[in-house]
Each structure stands twice: as structure tokens, then as C-alpha cells.
Amino acid sequence: MARLEDLTVGSLVNGLVNNESVQIVAVKWYGSSVLEVTYKNAQGMLANQLVYRENEVQLEVLEDNLPWSFDADGNTVRLASEAYRINLAHIFDPYLAVHTSSIEPLPHQISAVYQEMLPRLPLRYILADDPGAGKTIMTGLLLKELMIRGDLKRCLIVSPGSLSEQWQDELYSKFHLKFEILTNDRFESAVSGNVFAETNLCICRLDKLSRNELLQEKLKATEWDLIVVDEAHKMSASVWGGEIKYTKRSLLGRLLSDITRHFLLLTATPHNGKEEDFHLFLSLIDQERFEGAARSSSQAIDVSDVMRRLVKEDLLKFDGTPLFPERRAYTVNYDLSPREAALYHAVTEYVQEEFNRADQLSSDHRSTVGFALTILQRRLASSPEAIYQSLHRRRERLENRLNEEKLGKKAEEYHSSIRFDVDYDDDDYSSSEMEQEEENVADQASAARTIKELEAEIATLKNLERLANEVRLSGEDRKWDELSKLLQDNECMFTPDGQREKLIIFTEHRDTLRYLTDKIRTLFGSEDSVVTIHGGMLRDERRKVEERFRQDKEVRILIAINLRCERESGK
């Protein structure tokens, strides 16, 4: 017995015509109980008839359908054929990653990926082109080519903390690759307990891994198709007194090398001048080949098969012209006004006295105070606004501390809350983290050990704050005078048709950034002429500012905090 629903195109059915089997050619429903069937008999004759529910008892379906009935879902067929086409696309298009990415690669980037790296699979390679060559672009092209060819599913990018967001942004915007940055919250929330096993495409901070043995143990339990290390020279060991000194970073490099099939190291400074150290760095790529060389000889060896290095002079466009214009750098010298000079000498004397007092402290506390005073000196050279605000905040913080001391709190308790790791690597910090750390230390760390010493320092700070405010209110700022002349009188600041050129100004402190923004807007007579970037901005907001600077004709000046990630974004 067969149901009416079983009578489909291509079916062989008994019971429609005596004992003869016929093949269904077409069906048409009338309601839910009547089916008009068109069929073909063994002689090839066509006929049709109406079949009712009560006829189901005499029907028998011998075969569901023909091998190629073409009655499958068309969208599914198209999806399958497209997947098969993409799987084979690299055979017919050798530059498929280029054509499926939002980039316009340069000659040296194409040659690095398609002539140097892809022919060397499994890849163990050092890409050591000069800064600005686009090593992120080359890495993205390699990633996408390996994915297209079915050779890459799991990839880990290890980079300094200040560059992790930049890696994530560029891989997504240019190559449509979604990498996840592994944060502390992500490590703790891993369902399996090992986030490395759960995440196929991820980015992790270099020093987060090198300093955390628990994370390294979890990493050892995983395998990767490709691991990329940015600023890889940080993982080099060194030879000292005939003995190899391994750092935590170099040990991490060996671990990463052991758990991946493809290993790519990115650096602009592969060689520190010592051939033995260079061989140890190369041993991350091939331990057996290069570590022995480091122990036995200081002779240079051929590394053309494992490393490429191009300097900026070698980087060309497709028309053969240099990629980078000639760099012309010069320093503008100027003399301080009498008020500025008096403030400069007064703050310098204060810093020197505090340095001398700090020598009597413990090593950790001495280093923290020294770091704070160094920041103060830098802000003195930045702008009157920066040094005034720094002195003002420092005086207020120390007055708060004095009040706490008078209430009976111990100085040791306060010191412990402002310790700073002076051995820090600023690559580990994002720009906002770095700014916050500097603010906390510069405003609080003091060499004062008693209430009397603290009162004396506060009195000194009040006098310095007064001097700085006088300079600030007087409008005397020789550094700004020189910048103002440059913006107004220098012919390089204007196009041939008189339009003002776009200009990026880097500064080191948020107070100076605000100060310059107000000054330049007043000079140009337009609020829209200046935009700013600083570490406290959200990524989306920052991208909007960058895009506005590039596209908006009204915006002529971009002022940015001069931390590493700001410099990268301004390229």
C-alpha cells in the first residue's frame, strides 16, 4: 500500500493500470485527497488519471525516483557547487587571496607571500622588512591563502599588548578574518578550562604568555596550523661569557615553535650586532641548524632560505618609483622667555633635590620615585599647561596623603599602593593603560619619609604651581610661538592653490593635547579644523576620527598622543 504523497515524479508504480508498472511523469493535487497523475507505460505511451484516497490500498511504489530526478532544493545545490568551486579556485587563480581582500598590495608584499613563503610549506620563516613595509598585510595574505587551500584552520597571533587591537582591526577590515583577543576574562570563562583549545583564530599578548606558566601549560596541550609572532626579536636569547642566557620570552618562543606546523616571525630588527645572538634567534625557526652555530662559531651563515629583509630604499611601487618619499627631519631651536626659564630652573632644582632624597630609600621605592620625577621633567618640556596641571595634581594628591598621615595612617601602606614596575615594557600596555599608570605614579610617588618632609615638599610644590600658573596666564610660550609661525608662514604647510595641508602633530601628554587643540582652533578660527586621538577613546570612536581626518576637507590637523599605537594609526 502506498499513500498519494508517495506518488512523485520518477516513481515506478503498480496498481494504476492493471498489473503493469508505469512511471510517474507529472503530478497535480486537487485539495488533499485527489491527485491527478500523468504516467508513461512500458511502450512509452502517456496517459493520465485521477487517483483518490480510497485507491491507496491497491497502489505499490516500486522505486522512489530516478537517480537524477532534479527535484532537490535549488539553493542547496547552488551552495554545494559554490563550495566546490571555492575549494578549487586557487588552482585557477594563483592570487586568490589578493582578489578576495580589501587591499591593494605592493610588489614587495606580493613577492613575500607568493614567491618566498607559500613555496616553503611547511613554513618556518622570518619576515624582517623595515617598518612601514606592511608586515600585517603580508601576514593577512598568507593566512587567507592557506585558508583557501585548506591548509589552515587554527592560527594564533602573539603580539605586544599595544598592538593586539591593531592586529584585530586590520585582519577584519582588510581580510574579513575575525580574530578574538584573549583577555583575562576570556581565559577565566573558558568552558573547557583551556581557551586555546576552544578558539581557532585568536590574538594573545606576548608578555601575558611569557610570564604566566599556567597559560603555557595549557598552550602545550594544543596544536596549531600557524603561529605568528610580532616584534619577534624580543624572544631572542643571548650569549654572555660563553654561556647562553635564556629569557622567559625566548623560552616561550621555543614552546611556540614546538606546537605549530607553520611558524612566522615578524621583526624589523632581527640582528643586534652579535652574530651568536642572531643565531639563537634563528634557532627558533630551526633549532638543530642554528643553535649549534651559535655555540661553535661567530661566522655569518646564509639565511636566505629562512629570512627576508628589505630596507625602505628597496621598497618600490609598481611603476618603479620609491614607496617612501625622502624623509627630512630637523629641530627648531628657540630660547625660553625669562618667566619660562625661571620656571624651568625651579622645577629642575626640585627634581634634582627629590632624586637626591630618593637615593636614601629602598631600591623599589627609589625606582618608583625616580620614574615619577622623570615624567615630571618630560611634562616640563611639553607645555606650560602640562607642567601646571601636573604640579597641581601632585600637590593635591600629596596634601591628601598628608591628611591621611595626620590621621594616623602609616606611610608604608600608602607607598604599597603606588608601586610601579620600572622594568615594564611599554609594549605590554595599551595607550590608555600607559597613560593611567603614568598619571598615578607621577602624581603620588614621593621621597618624603616623615610628615615634616612631606609638608616641606608640598610648600615647594605650591610655589612651583604658582610660577607655572603665572607662565600659563601670561601667554608666554616660545614653543607654541614657533609652531604657530610654522603653521602660518611655512610654505610647506600649503598646497600650490593655497589650501592648507593636512598635518599630524604628536604630543606626549593629554594636557598638552587639549592645550594645543584650543590654541590651533583659535588660530584657524574653526572648531572643525582640529580632531584628536588619545588612549582613552573607544576603538569605534577612534576609527571615526581617523576616517574624518582622511576624508573631511574641513579637518586639517590631527593631534595624537605619541604612544606606540597612536603612531601606528597615523601611518
Contact between 304 and 449 under an 8 Å Cβ cutoff? The reply is no
Q: For the residues 389-398, what does the mean pLDDT come to?
A: 89
Angstrom distance (rounded) from CA 276 to CA 132: 28
Residue 65 confidence (pLDDT) above 70: no
Task: With CA atoms as reference, report the closest residue to 235 among 202, 283, 275, 307.
Answer: 283
Residue 102 main-chain phi, psi, to 5 deg: -95, 60
Q: For the residues 340-359, what does the mean pLDDT come to?
A: 87
Q: For the residues 42-54, what does the mean pLDDT come to?
A: 89
Q: How deeply is 464 buried, as exposed, middle or buried, from its count of CB atoms within 10 A (0-12, 13-18, 19+)?
A: buried
Q: Check residue 362 and give its pLDDT.
A: 63
Angstrom distance (rounded) from CA 359 to CA 373: 13
**Residue for cell digits 629583509?**
309
pTM of the model: 0.74
Contact between 155 and 229 under an 8 Å Cβ cutoff? The reply is no
> For residue 565, what pLDDT band results from cuts at 50, 70 and 90?
very low
Q: Check residue 67 and give its pLDDT.
A: 57
Q: Pick the residue with more confidence: 288 or 250?
A: 250
Task: State the pairing for strand pair 180-181/124-127.
Answer: unpaired
Q: Where are the alpha helices (DSSP H) in 243-305?
A: 248-258, 275-282, 287-296
Residue 570 confidence (pLDDT) above 50: no
E strand or H helix that includes residue 389:
helix 384-406
Least confident range from 233-247, 295-309, 327-341, 533-547: namely 295-309
Q: Which class would CATH give 4-63? A: mainly beta
Residue 243 confidence (pLDDT) above 80: yes
Q: For the residues 543-547, what does the mean pLDDT come to?
A: 92
Q: Check residue 1 and give its pLDDT.
A: 77
Q: Is 503 helix (H, G, I), strand (E, B) or coil?
A: strand
**Residue for cell digits 638543530?**
288
Residue 435 confidence (pLDDT) above 70: no
Domain positions in the chain: 4-63, 98-314, 338-474, 478-569
Query: For residue 34, what are the β-bridge partners?
Result: 30, 52
Q: For the residues 186-209, what does the mean pLDDT come to?
A: 95
How far is residue 104 from each of residues 138, 139, 315, measured CA to CA in Å? 11, 14, 15
Q: Check residue 266 and give its pLDDT.
A: 97
Q: Which three cell numbers stand for residue 87?
A: 575549494
Task: With CA atoms as reference, report the closest residue to 42 among 60, 25, 22, 27.
Answer: 22
> For residue 138, what pLDDT band results from cuts at 50, 70 and 90?
very high
Contact between 64 and 11 under an 8 Å Cβ cutoff? The reply is yes
Q: Check residue 411 and give its pLDDT.
A: 43
Residue 366 confidence (pLDDT) above 80: no
Does residue 496 have a cis bond before it (omega within 30 degrees)? no
Q: Check residue 567 and give its pLDDT.
A: 35
Q: Check residue 564 and give its pLDDT.
A: 43
Q: Which class would CATH give 98-314? A: alpha beta
- Evaluated on CA atoms 233, 234, 236, 240, the torsion sign reads positive
**Residue for cell digits 601628554?**
509
478-569 has which fold? Rossmann fold (3.40.50)
Burial letters 520-531, b for 16+ CB under 10 A, else e:
beebbeeeebbb
**Identical fold between 4-63 and 98-314:** no
Residue 365 confidence (pLDDT) above 60: yes
Residue 296 confidence (pLDDT) above 70: no
Q: For the residues 68-90, what does the mean pLDDT come to?
A: 81
